[in-house]
Amino acid sequence: MCYVYTDADDFDYGVKYPDYFTFTGNLSVGMPATEDNMFTDCLIIWPKFFSGYEYGVILYTDEGDYQIYVNADGSAVNEEDSKAVTRHRDTIDLLLRKAKEKWKLK
């Protein structure tokens, strides 16, 4: 089951509950879509079973898209993703801030 909410600034927030017999759900925040581009950068947050979170971003560019794991501070988990994260740092920081405001994440 998934629930989606759009705020006054057109950011999309999603809550995906775990499916039956699974423990995997997620939270997501997406940048506002435009008429020209429905696919926008987004942050996905997976709550860990006992505590904490794992974070990932999907970043779209003219060359293609990136699916990258990031730390809670927005830095790349894997060194080979550091350049893409650096190029999209402002967007990642904004998405993290929106997520932390919405769900009171630490």
Strand 2-6: give its sheet, edge to edge. 2-6, 12-16, 26-30, 42-47, 53-61, 64-70
Q: What's the pLDDT tens digit per position in 2-27?
A: 789 999 999 999 999 988 888 889 99
The pTM of the full predicted model, rounded to 2 decimals, is: 0.91
Q: What's the pLDDT tens digit per position in 64-94?
A: 899 999 999 999 999 999 999 999 999 999 9
pLDDT at position 34, please? Answer: 85
